[in-house]
Structures are given as C-alpha cells and as structure tokens.
Structure 1
Amino acid sequence: MELDCIGITDLLDDGIMISERDTIIYVNKSLSTLADIDGTESAFSSFKAYISRYASDPDLIDAEVSTALQTASPLLHRQMHLSYPSGEERWIELTLKTIDLNRTLWIFRGITRWKRAEEILRESEEKYRLLFHGGYDAVVVYSLHQSGLPLSFIEVNDVACRRLGYDRQELLSRSPLDIIPPDQIGKLLRTIKQLLVTDHLLFETEQIRSDGSTLAVEINAHRFQLRDQIVVLSVSRDISERKAHEEMQRKAYQQIEMNIEQFAILGDHIRNPLAVILGYAECGDEVIASKIREQNGIIRGYLDQLDRGWIESEKVREFLRRHYR
C-alpha cells in the first residue's frame, strides 16, 4: 500500500528520491529528467557526482547536504544553479527531510522559470529606478480622491526629496497641498480637480521647501488607474531661473518703454525754450542774433535726428511687444 502511494509521485513534476541510509530505494520518473539521477548508485554518491558536474558551488552544497544527512536535520529550499555543457542553465530547489531514523526524502523542484521571472522583474525594477530617480526633475506619485482632493504621496524620487529638503519618509507623510503656499491652495485644488475629466495637465505654481523658501515649478501631471485607485504621476521642473530671466526681461522692457516715452517728449522740451531764445535774439544786436540763429539751426538739426531716432525706437518697441511680452 505504501509503495502504491509512493507511485503516485510519478505524476508529479518534482523529482522525488527516497534513500534508506545511503541506498536509493525509490526514484520517480521526473527525477532523471530534472536532476539526471537514475538511482543506480548510492544516494549521496549520485547526488555528489551530479552537483560536481553542473553546480556553481558544489563544495558548499556538498557540505550542507552532508550535515543534513549526518544530523538527520532538514535542509529546506536550498537553491542550486546548474550549468550544462550545452549552455543550458537550470535552477533547482532541493529539500531534504527525514522520514524516520533510516529513511530520507529528497525533493528536487525545478525553479528555472521562477528565477527567470525574478531576473526580468529585477531588470524592470532597475529600469524603473533609472527612469524614476535618474533624471533632473522631481517626480512624485499620489492618489486622487473621487472628489478631486489630492491624498498623501505614495512614491517620491530622490530629486524631489533633495529639492524640497525632506528625507523620503518625511515627504511620503505629506501631500501636494502641504508643499504649496497657503495662498495658492485654492488655485491648486481647482487645477487638480480637472484631472477627474482629463488625463493630462501642464501648469505652473510654487512649492515650499522645508526651510520655508519657495521655488517656481512647472508641473506635468498625468492621471492613470492603479488597481482601484486614481493615481497622479506629477513631474515638476524647477523654473526659478527661467522666471528670474523673464522678470529681468519685463523690467528691461519697462525701462525701454519709459526711455522711449522720454525720448518722444524730449524734442518739445528743447524746442519750446529754443523758440523763446530765438525771439529774444531778434530784438538785439544783429551780429549776436546771427550767431544765435546759426546755433539754433545746429540744435534743430540735432532735434531732427532725435525725431528720426524716436521713429526707430517705436519700431524697436513694436518688435519687443510682439516677441517678449
């Protein structure tokens, strides 16, 4: 009856071997395919020959299995990496359990598929880390309540932590509303609520660092579904330098506008007193009046040049209005 029950193991994908002391008394069909052990030699000799040919760490496995057999203690889920001459690589998980004082159960489980899946997952995680942490922009992920209220961050990258001055756990305990100036919270809420009806937003705002200072940012927000949650991936770019440059341009333009306005009235400010001087000259000595008229003509020539310059300045102003306002 016992052997009939043991025979059921031929239906399993796992390789099964039972040894009594060091004699193999049973090997199922899967074992010869999985681990190249056919039961013609002693149990430990067969296993040792197998691992010495193919295992990447045969001496260590040998020592662990020897200890388990000598002490009758279990060896659980010992993973073995095997390389075959054909170039094929396999992973096998070995478990040893004592059935009674003399008999030992050997279970060989093929885990190559699992290990490959782990490797693919590891590579995917590494690519994710490179993309998430390797850029120059701050990236945060937070869930969005069905009312449109942004909830706590569920992921943040290294740039976000450095830029805002928090360690990762501190930042994860906050939400987008905690890093916005109080006077902009209402505007941010109205903006984020739009993500309930659209899957992408691009907008500018300010953020508060842990030391209370602010920085201007441009936020590129994408909404997506993660299991049963609405989630927002928010990429923020520091635009402080750009804003400072824009402010310099604005002030320079204002100054140019003022200069042009002054330029426009400068001629009148000069012509009016010049006409008075010329009128007084006509009442005096002709020689002096002649000299004054001559200098008056020179000054009017300069004023004509100022008028022409004002026309050119108007062209400059129109250009600035079109391209920099």
Structure 2
Amino acid sequence: MEKLQEQSPADLLELLQDAAPVLDCRSRERLTAGIEALLSKNHELAVRAARAELERDALLAAVGRQGIVYDADGRVVAADPGEENRIARALLGGRDVSLSHPGGEPVPPGDLPGHRALRGERLTSCRYTVHSPGGEDLHVVVSASPIIMDGAVSGATVSWQDVTGEEQTRRRLAEANTLLEGLFENLGDIVGVQLPDRTILRYNRAGYEMLGMTPEEVAGQKCYNLIGRTAPCPVCATELAVASRKREVVEKFVPELGRYLECRSSPIFNEKGELAFIVEQLYDITDRKRTECALRESEATARALLDAPDEVIVLVDMDGRIIDANEMATRLFARSREELVGINVQEFFSPNLPEICAARFREVAGTGRPARFEDCRDGRLYDAVLYPVRDARGGVSRIAVIARDITERKQTEDALRSLTHDLNNRVNELSALYAVSRIIEQPEITLDAIFHEVVQLLPSGWQYPEDAVARIRAFGCDYRTEGFRETPWRQVSPIVVHGERVGVVDVCYLRERGEEDEGPFLAEERALIDTVAGRLGRTMERFQAREFLERSESQFREIMQQSFDMIYTSYNEGGIAYISPAVNRILGYTPEELIGNKCRNFVAPSSLPAWEEGRTKIDRGEPVEGLEVEFRRKDGSVAYLELNESPIVRDRSVIGVHVVGRDITERKQNEQLRQHAFEQIERNIEQFAILGDHIRQPLQVILGMSELLDEGATTGRIREQVDRINSYIVKLDQGWIESRQVREFLRKHELA
C-alpha cells in the first residue's frame, strides 16, 4: 500500500477489482463510481494540460521567446526548444557555457533566473550575455516568474528572447552617436542647435568657450540674450532660414564679442515635414576680414606709395606695353592712366633710344637683374631703371620702369665738383688744426716737443703740401721741416705771449704757384697760420701759468705741511680728501688714517649739535667762523678745536668744505682753571665775611663783661686786646672789599 501513490488511475481500478470479493456490494458500487469519476477528471486535466502546453508554445513563439518550466524542486519540467540550445544550457547552468551581466560580471549558479524565480523573485526583461568557448556571444532578454499554488511556490517559468542582432545594432548606434558627439564637441567652429524661435538647446564645446558659460547657463536662453542683447540681431541667419526653409549665410560684426562671424543657419525637418530645429554654424572670420581690410589698405598704400614719389613709375609687360602708371607718369606724358594703359613704353623714349631700350628689356628679362640708362626729354635729363618683377614661380613676368628727373642733380654735381677742391682744402686745414690741438692737449708733453711736432704737420694744411715747408722760431729756438728755406712765396704770423712778440711761424712754397688771395696763398690759409700762431702763444702762456701754479702749490703745500693748525678738505661724497700733518700732533692720527673718513665720526657727542648747525650753514653756502668743537683723540681723550670753515662750490652746488682747525685745548683748560680759581676766591671772600661776624659778636660780649668787673687795669687790658682784634677784622673787611673790586674788574675785562 505504501506504493499506491506511484500507480496510475487504471492500475488503481484493476487493483480494486481484484479486491472486490472482499467488499460488500454497496461499497464496491461506491468505490467503482468514485474511481470512474476520478479517471474522468484525470482525463479532463490531461486534455487541459496538453492544450495549455500548446497555447504556451504558441504564445512564446508569437512573441519570439522561448521558455523553461521548473517544478518546485528545481527540476526542468519542460524546455523549448530543448536543452541542446546554447541559451537554454546557459540558463540551466551548463558547464560549457556561461552567463554574465551586461557589465561583464559572471552570474553565479545560485543567481540564475530560474533559481531566483523559485525563491519567489519576479524578473522582467533582464539582460544577460551568453558566452561559450569558440562561439559568438549572444545577448538575451530574460523574464522569470514563480508559480504560486495554495500560497506556496510550486514551480517557476523562465522565458527568453534572443536580442543579439538588436544589441549589436544598438551598440553600433551608440558608437556612431559617440563618434558624432565627439565630432560635434571637438569641431573648431561653433555649432549650436536651437528652436525656430531662437531658443538655444545646446552648443558644442567651442560655443560654450566663446560665450564663457556652462551648458546649464545656456540652455533655454535666446541666442541674442547670450551676448547681452534684448532683441534679435537686425540681420539674422536663423530668421532668414525659417522664412526660406533652406540654409542661409550671413556675415556680420558682433561688437559684443569684438569679432567678425559668418553665420550659417540650416533648417531640420521632422517626418511630417515640419520645421523642428535650426542648426547654426558660426565661423570666426575676423582674421580673414582683417586680412581683407589690410589688403585693401595695402593696395591703397601701394597706390599712395606709387603716386607719392617724384619719379615716373610705369609697369609694363614683357612686350613693353604699359599695364599701370603713377600720377607723375600721367603728368609727364600728359595722358590719363587709362589712356596710357596698352601703349608701348618705347614710344616715350628719345628717337635714338628704342634699340637701346629694347636691348635693355631683353637683358632684364633674361638675367633677372636691373638695368639702368639715361634719357633726355624736352631738355630734361632722366635716369631710367628697368627693374624685374617676378611671378610666383620666380620668373620675370613684368618690368617696372622708374625714371627720375636728374637735371637739377646733374647741375648740382657740376657745382659740387667745382667746390670739391675748396672743400678738400678746408678739410686739410681743419685736419691740420685738429692735429695741432691734439698735440697741444697731450698730457705731460713738453713745449719743445709741441713745437717739433707742430712744425712737421703744418705743410699738410696748405693747398700744395708737396711744395710747402715750415718753420717755428721762439725764445731763440728754431724748429723747421726738412729742406726749409725762405723763398719769395712766404707766409708769416707772429707768436705773441702776454702782449709781447716772442717768435714767428713761417710757411713757404719752394716753387711758384698761381695767384690767389695772398700771393699763392688762400685767405683761409692766412686764417690757419694765424690760428696756429695764436694757439702756440696761448700754449706758451699756459705753460708759464702752469709753472707759476706749481711753484705756488709747492709753497702753499709747504706752508700747510709746516702749519701748527689742522687744515683739511672734505667732500660730501668721498669724505676727507686732504688733511695736514698737524692732525698727528692734535688728535694722534696720521693723515693716512683719516683719508676717506667723515670728520663727523670724530666729533664728541656733546659738540654734535654745534657741529650740525655749522654744517647747515655750509650747505647754504655760508662760511662758519670760530666754531668750537670737541674732538676725540686716538687715545680716547678730548681736544678742543676752533674751526673756520668755507664751502666748496661747483656748478652752484656745495660739494665739500675747506676747514682750518686751531687747537685751543690748553686755552680751554686755562679758562677752566681760572674759573675754578675765581670761584674759590669768591667762596673765600664769603667765608671772610662770615668769619668777621663770628669774631665781632664774642668780642662785644667779652668787652661788656669786662666793664662789669670794675677792675681798671684788667678792664683796660681786655679793651686793648678787643680793639686790637677789631682792627684785624677791619683789615679783613678792607681786603674782602678790595678782592671783590679786583674780581669785578677781571669780569668786566673778560679775564675771569
């Protein structure tokens, strides 16, 4: 009986018939009727199951899906088109195939769609990828649902659809969209998509960079609002494209951006033929516009440059026909530019020049080098230049004929040639004069060397130096060039020093020359010899002055060196430049130790206010006299100096100071001693006065007491001694009065 559940209804009926003899009649009838009803119900269920299976397969086939049915234990009840299908094997967890998520993560066996449905999950249109070794990957969309009976999962259904072709198409479309998006974003020109009412949907990267805005800031704005306008542009390509329903192109300058833009608006229509979008392309043509403007300006400049010169400029082709001409050419030939174009340029040359001109044209065309010739027209002389004009390949395609009126120049050259000789003479004279100045200004040169060098260069300043000789005589000395001799052709100038003639300068020609301003000599040569003689005289005066100055400086230096006063010169920038040796005796420093130092560095702090006051007066250009200043000696002691200062002025500015400092230290010390002595005398006088008062009072007491004793001899003796002491006190008073008078006398005469 334990295996009855495994028997079919027919086997159960046969089994009951075998057991019928055991049952009573009524029980057999009731059992038979129940079994027959059960068999009938079982048949009906089998028919419905078969029909449901057919309907399921038809439905899955209609939607392009296939399926798997599981029982509650996870066993496959049905699989269409069977377990041999690669997708079915992957969904069932086969070993030779695998299932992964779209991102590439493998699906664990426990997470297969069937298993998840058996756990009560419901999956709808989940995407998976099926992998098998050596096979192409398949893409499927899977749905799974649990079968619920009596509130419990009794099985599960899994359906799938092969969407490999759709996925491949989708991926190709995504790649194409990515490529198109990349192209759109990376276009160098600005591309924008907008609605017909100019509402911006988006721009590419160049557009956002031009505006300096983010996509969020741009979306939904009107195109004209983005550049700060409140109304559309007067000429709008989008407006024209909306009206014409075709692409429109507009060039305009946008002052808000400071750029020239070429705007191309192209309409995009939907499947109904309605205008859906406008694709606007903006090309920055600022450089092109500026180039065009520059080209126009260049052409205008070229025309202005062509017309500006005084030269006749004509551009001809290789056959000599005029292509262009400047304003000077139209004036010279008395024809307009339009009339000149096409005429052969050789018609305007002199009758004897066409052959020469043709030969020059051939030469320029063949060699590519300019050629030059002269032509005379209407009594005017012209310098003509044929200049090759090359094309892009470097060949000569045009020839520029440039003719300059050189009539005045030729006349000027003739006049210039007539003056060249005179100019050369002046140059020689100036060169000689410069050489004399250079010789005289040489440092450390002697007077004898000056005379010797000057006499050698003198002939070079005259018109005919090859025949000129020279001589200088001064203070009994004679300096001459080789071969000098006096001739009838002689020029002389005296040398004067301090109003006294001390010598002469001679220049002679050794042979006769043509008559000029002064015999064979020019007036300029007279001026030259007088100038040289004058320079030599002033040079001799300068040498004498220098000798006198050197003697004076030597004497002054000796005086300063022997002076008991400290004498020094100090400059604002360089400090002490000179200081006499007396500084060693006064301050204990050698002159070398103080050179370059500031004198202020050695002033005692107590004297700095007086020192600064003196410096203020010096800076104003005022002298300072009797300034008493304390200086620190090298050994640390203090010396008193009385300074007399005078400013050094150059170019109206004070640059330093000359100072003479006298050592008054001993005098200051004597004054201090004398002051102390007088102070002591004054104290002594006061003490004398107090002492007299102190003595008189006891004497009066003694004298009064003696009179009370009534002893004649003793009283007389005491009075006698009191009078004697009183006389001493009177003498002290007289001495005190005399001392005070002496002190007042000394103060009055500034001796105290």
Name the TM tier (shorter chain): 0.5 to 0.7
Residue number in structure 2 paired with 1:231: 656
Q: Which amino acid aligns with 1:278?
A: L
Structure 1 residues 276 and 27, CA, compared in 2 at 3 Å: closer, same or farther?
Answer: farther
Task: For 1:27 and 1:114, locate their aligned partners in 2 and report how far apart those are by CA, in whole Å.
Answer: 33
Is 1:200 aligned with 2:623?
yes
How far off its partner does 1:161 sit?
A: 4.3
Residue matched to 1:15: 455
SS class of match (1:321): helix
Aligned pair count reads: 249
Counterpart residue number, 1:75: none
In structure 2, the partner of 1:141 is 569
Report if aligned partners of 2:629, 2:641 keep a CA contact under 8 Å in 1: yes
Asked if 2 retains the 8 angstrom alpha-carbon contact of 1:267 and 1:303, the reply is: yes
Distance 1:201 1:28, change over 3 A: same
**Percent of pairs identical after alignment?**
32
CA 1:286–1:307: 2 relative to 1, 3 Å: same
| Structure 2 partner of 1:222 | 646
2:742 and 2:607 map into 1 onto residues whose CA distance is 37
Counterpart of 2:81 in structure 1 is none
Of 628, 635, 638, which residue of structure 2 is paired with 1:211? 635
> 1:28 and 1:301 mapped to 2: Cα distance?
116
Q: Distance in 1 between matches of 2:542 and 2:730?
A: 88
CA drift of 1:281 comes to 1.8
Q: State the 1:259 CA deviation.
A: 1.7
1:87-144 deviation digits (Å, cap 9, x = unpaired): x79xxxxxxxxxxxxxxxxxxxx77556434313322321331343332110111134
Equivalent pair of 1:199/1:224 in contact (CA under 8 Å): no
Q: Whole-Å Cα distance in 2 between the matches of residues 152 and 293 of structure 1?
A: 81
Residue 307 of structure 1 is aligned with which of 712, 729, 733?
A: 733
Measure the CA separation in 2 of the matches of 1:307 and 1:217. 43
In 2 relative to 1, CA 255–37 (structure 1 residues): closer, same or farther, beyond 3 Å?
same
- Residue identity matched to 2:637: S
**CA distance, structure 2, for counterparts of residue 193 and residue 254 of structure 1:** 37
Give the aligned CA root-mean-square deviation in angstroms: 3.7
Q: For 1:146-184, what per-residue CA distance to the aligned partner results, in whole angstroms no more than 9, with x for missing partners?
A: xxxxx6112212222443233333211211111112343
CA distance change for structure 1 residues 36 and 215 in 2, over 3 Å: closer, same or farther?
closer
Give the TM-score of the pair, scaled to structure 2: 0.30
CA distance in 1, matches of 2:584, 2:729: 61
CA contact (8 A) 1:281 1:289 kept: yes
What SS class does the counterpart of residue 317 from structure 1 fall into? helix
Q: Residue 604 of structure 2 contacts residue 631 of structure 2 at CA under 8 Å; is this kept in 1? A: yes
After TM superposition, the structure 1 = structure 2 runs for residues 166-177 of structure 1, keeping only pairs within 5 Å, are 166-177=589-600
Q: CA deviation at 1:39?
A: 4.3
**Structure 1 residues 263 and 170, CA, compared in 2 at 3 Å: closer, same or farther?**
same
Provide the C-alpha distance between the structure 2 equivalents of 1:11 and 1:288, rounded to a whole number of angstroms. Answer: 126
The answer to whether the 8 Å contact 2:456/2:480 transfers is no
Residues 278 and 311 of structure 1: CA distance in aligned 2, closer, same or farther (over 3 Å) = same
1:11, distance to aligned residue in structure 2 (A): 6.3
Instruction: Give unmatched runs, 5+ long, in structure 1.
Output: 18-25, 42-87, 90-109, 146-150
CA contact (8 A) 1:220 1:234 kept: yes
* Separation (CA, whole Å) in 1 of partners of 2:635 and 2:746: 38
Whether 1:181 aligns to 2:604 is yes
1:191 aligns with 2:614: yes
Map 1:71-220 to 2 at 5 A: 112=540, 115-144=543-572, 152-197=575-620, 199-202=622-625, 203-220=627-644
Contact 1:153 1:173 in 2 (8 A): yes
Paired residue for 2:329?
A: none
Write the deviation string for residues 23-72 of structure 1: whole angstroms up to 9, x where unpaired.
Answer: xxx7843236573546459xxxxxxxxxxxxxxxxxxxxxxxxxxxxxxx
Q: CA deviation at 1:251?
A: 1.4
**Do the aligned residues in 1 keep the contact of 2:610 with 2:629 (CA within 8 Å)?**
no
Task: Classify 1:223/1:282 alpha carbon distance in 2 versus 1 (closer, same or farther; 3 Å).
Answer: same
Which structure would you say has the larger RCO, counting Cα contacts within 8 Å and 6 or more residues apart?
1
Q: The residue matched to 1:234 in structure 2 has which SS?
A: strand
Matches within 5 A, 1:270-309: 270-284=695-709, 285-309=711-735
Give yes or no for contact 1:27–1:38 (8 Å, CA) kept in 2. no
Among 642, 653, 677, the residue aligned to 1:252 = 677
Task: Please state how far the C-alpha of 1:233 moved relative to its aligned partner.
Answer: 1.0
SS of 1:231's partner is: strand
Structure with the greater alpha carbon radius of gyration? 2
Q: Is the contact between residue 218 and residue 236 of structure 1 (CA under 8 Å) also seen in structure 2? A: yes
The CA deviation string for residues 73-96 of structure 1, in whole angstroms up to 9 with x for no partner, is xxxxxxxxxxxxxxx79xxxxxxx
Gaps of 5+ in 2: 1-423, 437-453, 458-465, 485-501, 504-535
Cα 1:181–1:117 change in 2 (3 A) is same
Please give the secondary structure, in 1, of the residue aligned with 2:683.
helix
Q: TM-score, length-normalised on structure 1?
A: 0.64
- Compared with structure 1, are the counterparts of its residues 168 and 308 closer, same or farther at alpha carbon in structure 2 (3 Å cutoff)? closer
Q: For the Cα contact (< 8 Å) 1:15–1:28, is it kept in 2?
A: no
Aligned residue for 2:234?
none
